Amino acid sequence: MKKIISTIFTIAILAGVFLLTGCEDDNVTNKGNSTITGTITDSLTNEGIKDVSITTDPVTYSGVVTDADGKYTISGIAANDYTITAKKPGWFTMNYYITVAENETAVADFKILFSNIYAFDNLTASEYFNDNSMSAVNLYLGKIVSELDATNKDIQLRDSVGMSERFLFRSGDLALDNPGYETVFGDQVFSGRNFTKNEFDTLSKYYTVDGQIDPARDFPNDRTVYYYPYGLDSKHHVYPFYLKGRHNSNPGNPRVYGLLYIKSLVQDSVYKFTIDVKINRNGQNSFNMNQ
């Protein structure tokens, strides 16, 4: 009996070690004896940038990120031509093309430029019932918050008639209880055109009369149009917005502009709207994540 218990214990330890260390072969598809190493630096300061996600095409390892000095290494890969992609929120995505020979350590150092552009996908706000409802959105950080969280509330999802029939997003400062920040909207981009997800992702600017953003001219609304639960699949609109309240609270900081995409509506126990958001924290009319 003791021998059986000991055997089971040993197997459990080995299984635990396997789970902790993982299986390297599962993470790499182009196996070989070559290596790619490099450093990702800021194009202006030349300082290394940490936590940059590194991917390759063809695919090699997953989960590779730069260290505190901006360095990375991908080893045990096959000789091939690779496209290396460096990506980090707030920075322009950059690609580097390199040919790696058999048994070679190839160096791929490259620079990326800080953009202060951020994309937040799949933010799902729930129908409002009380101040604990997760029906408010922090557009600056890209997260859903409760109605009680006035310090994080930029916009709210509301049902205008209280019958789960007519929904809209409106400025956070319009809340009767725990008002948040004022957010103002422009009219629907391209007069209410329905955008696909890919079209929104590649939308690089807010098309104004002169190509520039004028906060007083281009954001006349404190809310979106109304959305009804039926027929929403044909109403994937995009709204430009300006985080006016945040700028008024910190006028020394650049203005923050963004684009909001009405993505989907799901009816669970409550109605839930999912949106995608892109913002520029540099006060520029630019929302292209790629340089």
Domain with CATH 2.60.40.10 in the chain: 24-112
Q: pLDDT tens digits, the chain, 291 residues: what are they? A: 444 444 443 444 333 433 333 334 445 567 899 999 999 999 888 999 999 999 999 998 888 999 999 999 999 999 999 999 999 988 989 999 999 999 999 999 999 988 899 999 999 999 998 889 999 999 999 999 999 999 999 999 998 777 777 899 999 999 888 999 999 999 999 999 999 999 999 999 999 999 899 999 999 999 999 988 776 666 899 999 999 999 999 998 999 999 999 998 888 788 999 999 999 999 999 998 775
d(CA 41, CA 82): 20
Yes or no: say if 120 and 128 are a contact pair by the CB < 8 Å rule. no
Q: Which CATH class is domain 24-112?
A: mainly beta
- DSSP-derived 3-state class of residue 156: strand
Separation of alpha carbons 57 and 83, rounded Å? 5
CA torsion, ordered 200, 203, 206, 208, to nearest 10 deg: -120
Bridge partners (DSSP) of residue 35 are 75, 105
SS3 assignment, position 152: helix
- Distance CA(279)–CA(50), nearest Å, equals 22
Instruction: Give the Å distances, CA to CA, from 17 to 23, 28, 61, 63, 155.
Output: 10, 20, 21, 20, 47
| pTM for the full predicted model | 0.74
- Phi, psi dihedral angles at 8 (to 5 degrees): -60, -40
